[in-house]
Structure 1
Amino acid sequence: MDRLVSVDVKELELAFKPSERCSASFRISNLMHTMSVAVCLTTADSRYCFAPNPYSVLPPLSSSTVSIHLPPLLSPPVSDSVLVRTTMLPTGRAHPDALRRIFSAPGRQIFRDALLPLSVVGPHVVKSLLFASTPSSSSSLDTTLRTAFLLSKAISRCSTSDLSNLLIDAARLGNPAFVSPLIDAGAHPDSRDSDGNSALSVAAAAGNVEAARALLDAGAQFDPSADRLLHAAAAANDVRLLDVLANPGNIDSADSTGRRPIHEAASGGHAEALRFCVRCGCDASAPDSGGWTPLHCAAAEGHLAAVEFLLDAVPFAKYAVTRDGRTAYAVAAEAGHSHLGDSLRLGDGLQRAARLGDANGIRSLVSQGAGVNGRDQNGWTPLHRAAFKGRMESVKVLIGSGAQIDAVDNVGYTPLRCAVEAGQSEVALYLVSQGAYANQKTFKSPFLPVRNPCFGKNNHPAQLPLPLPLPLPPVNGEKRGDLVN
């Protein structure tokens, strides 16, 4: 015979509540027809107690109900087990102290009749596991599997309402390992907290990408205009979260004030989020209900990099006005962001002065901080304009102020190419004398237009004997040989 008693359960569960006593019961039956059996019940955690007693005597073929109790605790204990040991007792009776000595004395035949897994269960246990578990790739496999096992047990005593509340907690803490089990157990993926926030919006607000992904995979839905999840992700410059939430149909969604995710990215000066929004098709010039474009938002906060990015994406946005008639420049000026003046206004004045040949105006604007290499919507610098118009004095002032002599526009034109095509031979010759690369190629054509009438004039660069005494452009920082036939 390998055991003396039977137990009516294979495992025990205690529904845990903080600061309350919890208990469970089971029944033990003596399998012996003619012999009494002594029983000893033990757990690893000494806080558990048994009633009526951990030591008892069962007459032949009799049964007894035993209760296991856990005293009031603030937090649940870890899982445990109940070991049921027995031995035959010919006398049929013994005092508990004598039974204790029987089971502790060596040499006596002791049977291990059962080992009952003991779990504490319920929403408080799930919450305890959730707060104790961190979503880290460094967690060991054993720890992960143990947590998953304990979670599967603890969930069994949770109501639908409990599961929904726990799902909100899992979303807030960003632990995707809890999201799927909770949903599988009955939590709705669109569960909301007492303030009406969905689990997905809670995960997004906390920047918990993987929890948000798990919720979306489980079927969670959101209204991009009302929930503002994309707005929150853009405001946090969280491109990973944007990538999870965004699709072509929602990335440009406006909220009740007309603001779109790109407005939030611009207000925060978040270059990565701005690039993501534009790449996904956001309207970079879209106004909100007050007429504010993303450029206005970036300018109001003084974000130079965001301003320059938006101007590259939508050059004409600098001319847009709010409902009260303010340009992005005016908004920046009111906020004291003078460092944005060149990008939003002074650069325009410099382009105009270069076009008109106003050398004094150029000097004045440069002294005020205008960027001498600023570009218009076509990629033209002031030097492109001055060269194209043949404004020799302006060309000299610009070069003297640090203008890039071989700057290329959106199609690869340099100031020299502009001068040549416009027939401005004196300017072209001067640019070459200042080091402009005569062999610079464009995106449209790899050759200078030598048949242009400009090249027929005396002393034009095209009439200079070859080889030209000009070095080829450096490549990777290394000098190259001179231009040869």
Structure 2
Amino acid sequence: MGARAQPPADAGAALLQAAREGDAAAVRGLLAQGAPVNARDAQGSTPLLLATAGDHVEVARSLLLAGADVNLQNDMRDSAYLLAGAQGRLEILRMALSYGADLKSTNRYGGTALIPACERGHVETVRTLIAAGVAVDHVNRLGWTCLLEAIVLSDGGPAHQDIARQVLAAGADVNLADRDGVTPLAHARRRGQAEMARILAAAGGR
């Protein structure tokens, strides 16, 4: 008597499905039965990664409380932490940071969580990652920094201008060029991003 019941053989698969669907009650029930919190699907994704993809905050919280690993990466090199940064899942990102996110971990492009956050215009996510200490001058396998991606892969609008100001204030090298030697300012000018070019020039851009 009193022995803990063994979880059903397919508890991992059930947990993955419940996490994907955002069914917080089912997730809590399966965890209480001993379902493996870091189960993997056919693509190597964990329940926490699936919850992050769907922005299922309560599910993510339950999984983290049960010991889910925020740094486990799937076959596409996404982890819950990296995906939260890339998709701007701010509440889950903050939880991931408090549960030991590896700030130096990189995605399939060799980029930190900060780089896609800058590219996609996630202003508050960028602020959070900078405050956490993610390196602002990290260069990914494409030869781009977060500042370059905020210019090259954007329209140079208000969100990306805000992000450029943030990373420059955090100490980003305004003249760190791409592999072809093209600087952020040169890219902004080529793209007709007048306000972005003004911000970069004011920061010493050449």
TM-score (norm 2): 0.69
Letter aligned with residue 28 of structure 2: R
Residue-by-residue CA offset, 1:252-311 (whole Å, 9 max, x unaligned): 211123221111111221221111000011113311232111001211211011011101
Distance 1:343 1:298 in 2: 12
Residue-by-residue CA offset, 1:90-110 (whole Å, 9 max, x unaligned): xxxxxxxxxxxxxxxxxxxxx
Residue-by-residue CA offset, 1:354-397 (whole Å, 9 max, x unaligned): xxxxxxxxxxx999347x9xxxxxxxxx9xxxxxxxxxxxxxxx
Say whether residues 1:325 and 2:140 are aligned partners.
no
Distance 2:138 2:68 in 1: 26
Distance 1:321 1:289 in 2: 13
Say whether residues 1:368 and 2:198 are aligned partners.
yes
What RMSD, in angstroms, separates the aligned Cα atoms of the two structures?
Answer: 3.3
Distance 2:30 2:165 in 1: 46
On the 8 A contact 1:209/1:240 being kept in 2, the answer is yes
Give 5+ residue unaligned stretches, structure 1: 1-183, 193-197, 352-364, 373-381, 383-485
- Which secondary structure does the structure 1 equivalent of 2:102 belong to? coil
Among 271, 277, 292, which residue is 2:90 paired with? 271
On the 8 A contact 2:137/2:173 being kept in 1, the answer is no
Give 5+ residue unaligned stretches, structure 2: 175-194
Give the structure with the larger strand fraction. 1
The offset of 1:214, in angstroms, is 0.8
Letter aligned with residue 203 of structure 1: A
Summarize the Cα distance change of 1:248–1:216 in structure 2 as closer, same or farther, 3 Å threshold: closer
Structure 1 or 2, whichever has the larger Rg, is: 1
Distance 1:273 1:200 in 2: 18
Q: 2:188 — aligned with what?
A: none
The offset of 1:207, in angstroms, is 0.4
Summarize the Cα distance change of 1:270–1:202 in structure 2 as closer, same or farther, 3 Å threshold: same
Letter aligned with residue 223 of structure 1: A
On the 8 A contact 2:45/2:75 being kept in 1, the answer is no
Aligned positions of 1:26-425 closer than 5 A: 188=8, 190=10, 198-221=13-36, 222-224=38-40, 226-246=44-64, 247-248=66-67, 250-315=69-134, 317-336=135-154, 337=156, 338-339=160-161, 340-345=163-168, 348=171, 368-369=198-199
Residue-by-residue CA offset, 1:231-270 (whole Å, 9 max, x unaligned): 1222333332112212556222111232211111112212
On the 8 A contact 2:109/2:141 being kept in 1, the answer is yes
Distance 2:196 2:11 in 1: 59
Letter aligned with residue 52 of structure 2: A
Distance 1:272 1:347 in 2: 22
The offset of 1:346, in angstroms, is 6.9
- Which secondary structure does the structure 1 equivalent of 2:149 belong to? helix
Letter aligned with residue 308 of structure 1: R
Distance 2:31 2:169 in 1: 48
Give the structure with the larger helix fraction. 2
On the 8 A contact 2:118/2:150 being kept in 1, the answer is yes
The offset of 1:324, in angstroms, is 2.1
The offset of 1:341, in angstroms, is 1.6
TM-score (norm 1): 0.31
Summarize the Cα distance change of 1:224–1:281 in structure 2 as closer, same or farther, 3 Å threshold: farther
On the 8 A contact 1:189/1:199 being kept in 2, the answer is no
Summarize the Cα distance change of 1:279–1:346 in structure 2 as closer, same or farther, 3 Å threshold: closer
Distance 1:366 1:255 in 2: 36
Distance 2:16 2:68 in 1: 18
